[in-house]
């Protein structure tokens, strides 16, 4: 029996989860509310909140799983990328706990973990896993990548953003409309009642599978600036259509390149992961592509779109099976792509 405790603390969610023989037993996330009034994550506050949360969150995850700490086979933790102060809390805790329990440590790449979230399975759940090699569109606040996933540990980025990430485009455009933070979910909600064809924004023309979202952001900004000059109530009166048109454009940009990659590589298994994969329009686009192009699509449950430790625990589980452990002096890293 292999029982893995996963710990995630890369940004503003303190999370712990337990996976036994590939089956999820518990998944606890404590999201930090302290950042809301600042309109973004404040790194120093995040690391302090992690310090307060980590012990209760791990305790709760073990309790909910019905697992005693002495039954753990290994501790998996997010080593990076993320905020250094936040990563240090999870990393230090994992090291201390594994030393005390005299069990191995497994370091996990946060971006790999988002992708491997597709392999999380609960007891009795009937779930089809993607078949290797598959493509994963990894879209979050910090990344927009097309990843060719060859195995649990072999992943190749074949396309990525050359400037802003998709989540950033949602958040920054939401900010100029005076919507709250993070803007993505608010735009998603308002877009449901808007007309996606009302406004047209610039789309990037970039070779290969890379993305760019800064031109779209500028085009959005200029439209607002010009229209608000003529009508000061423009944003308020057109909020829903603006959100629907913005969302539609972001989705078209994401899907066009993903389609091109899938076609060129002759891959039918296509997944989506990361915070932006919660977007209802993007989820619908995947469904449309499934019907139109015969894709086998993999869309994560909402709880696995945002940061969580179940994805860290499942990544740790596969590394454990591979005897892929890390040493006690493994330092966290703030930056690294897949």
Q: By the criterion CB under 6 A, which residues form the site for ligand KG4?
A: 11, 140-142, 167, 170-171, 182-185, 188, 274-276, 278-279, 306-307
Q: Tell the smallest beta-carbon distance from residue 107 to ligand KG4 (Å).
A: 19
Angle at 242 between CA 240 and CA 243, to 5 degrees: 65
Closest CA to 173 of 202, 145, 197: 202
To ligand KG4, the closest distance from the beta carbon of 294 in angstroms equals 26
Compare residues 215 and 275 and give the one whose CB is closer to ligand KG4. Answer: 275
Q: Which is nearer to ligand KG4, 130 or 142 (CB)?
A: 142
β partners of residue 290: none
Question: Between residues 63 and 189, which has the closer beta carbon with respect to ligand KG4?
Answer: 189
Q: Nearest distance from residue 1's CB to ligand KG4, in Å?
A: 32
- C-beta of 77: minimal distance to ligand KG4 in Å? 17
Give me the least distance between CB of 282 and ligand KG4, in Å please.
Answer: 7
Nearer to ligand KG4 by Cβ, of 93 and 170: the residue is: 170
What are residue 300's phi and psi, to 5 degrees? -70, 155
R_g (Cα) of the chain, nearest Å:
20
Q: Minimum Å distance from CB 40 to ligand KG4?
A: 10
Q: Which is nearer to ligand KG4, 97 or 199 (CB)?
A: 199
Between CA 334 and CA 338 the distance in angstroms is 13
Residue nearest to ligand KG4 (CB): 275
Residue number with CB closer to ligand KG4 (210 or 307): 307
Nearer to ligand KG4, 31 or 231 (CB): 31
Neighbouring CB atoms inside 10 A of 233's CB total 8
Range 93-101 contact pairs with CB under 8 angstroms and sequence separation of 24 or more: 93/7, 93/9, 93/54, 93/55, 93/58, 94/7, 95/328, 97/5, 97/58, 97/69, 98/74, 98/328, 99/328, 101/69, 101/70, 101/72, 101/75
Closest by CA to 259, choosing from 144, 137, 139, is 137
Q: How far is the CB of 306 from ligand KG4 (least distance, A)?
A: 4
Please list the alpha-helical segments (H only) found in the chain.
Answer: 43-65, 84-101, 110-116, 166-176, 183-191, 214-230, 234-265, 280-293, 310-321
């Amino acid at each position: 029996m292999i029982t893995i405790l996963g710990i995630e603390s890369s940004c503003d969610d303190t999370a712990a989860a337990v996976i036994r023989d590939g089956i999820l037993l518990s998944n606890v996330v404590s999201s930090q509310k302290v950042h809301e009034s600042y309109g973004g994550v404040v790194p120093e506050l995040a690391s302090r909140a992690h310090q307060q949360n980590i012990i209760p969150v791990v305790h709760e995850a073990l309790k909910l799983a019905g697992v005693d700490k002495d039954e753990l086979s290994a501790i998996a933790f997010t080593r990076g990328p993320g905020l250094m102060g936040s990563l240090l809390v999870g990393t230090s805790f994992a090291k201390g706990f594994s030393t005390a329990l005299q069990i191995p440590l497994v370091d996990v790449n946060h971006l790999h973990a988002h992708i491997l979230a597709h392999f999380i399975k609960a007891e009795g759940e009937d779930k089809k896993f993607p078949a290797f090699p598959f493509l994963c569109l990894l879209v979050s606040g910090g990344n927009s990548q097309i990843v060719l996933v060859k195995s649990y540990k072999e992943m190749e980025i074949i396309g990525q953003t050359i400037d802003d990430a998709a989540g950033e485009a949602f958040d920054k455009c939401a900010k100029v409309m005076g919507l709250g933070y993070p803007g993505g979910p608010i735009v998603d909600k308002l877009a449901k009642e808007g007309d996606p064809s009302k406004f047209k924004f610039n789309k990037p023309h970039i070779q290969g599978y890379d993305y760019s979202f800064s031109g779209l952001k500028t085009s959005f900004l200029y439209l607002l600036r010009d229209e608000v000059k003529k009508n000061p109530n423009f944003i308020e009166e057109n909020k829903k259509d603006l959100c629907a048109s913005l969302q539609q454009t972001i989705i078209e940009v994401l899907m066009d390149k993903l389609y091109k990659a899938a076609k060129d590589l002759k891959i039918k298994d296509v997944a989506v992961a990361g915070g932006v994969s919660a977007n209802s329009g993007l989820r619908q686009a995947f469904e449309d592509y499934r019907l139109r192009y015969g894709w086998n699509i993999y869309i994560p449950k909402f709880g696995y779109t945002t940061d969580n430790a179940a994805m860290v625990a499942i990544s740790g589980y596969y590394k454990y099976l591979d005897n892929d452990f890390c040493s006690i002096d493994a330092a966290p890293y703030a930056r690294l792509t897949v």
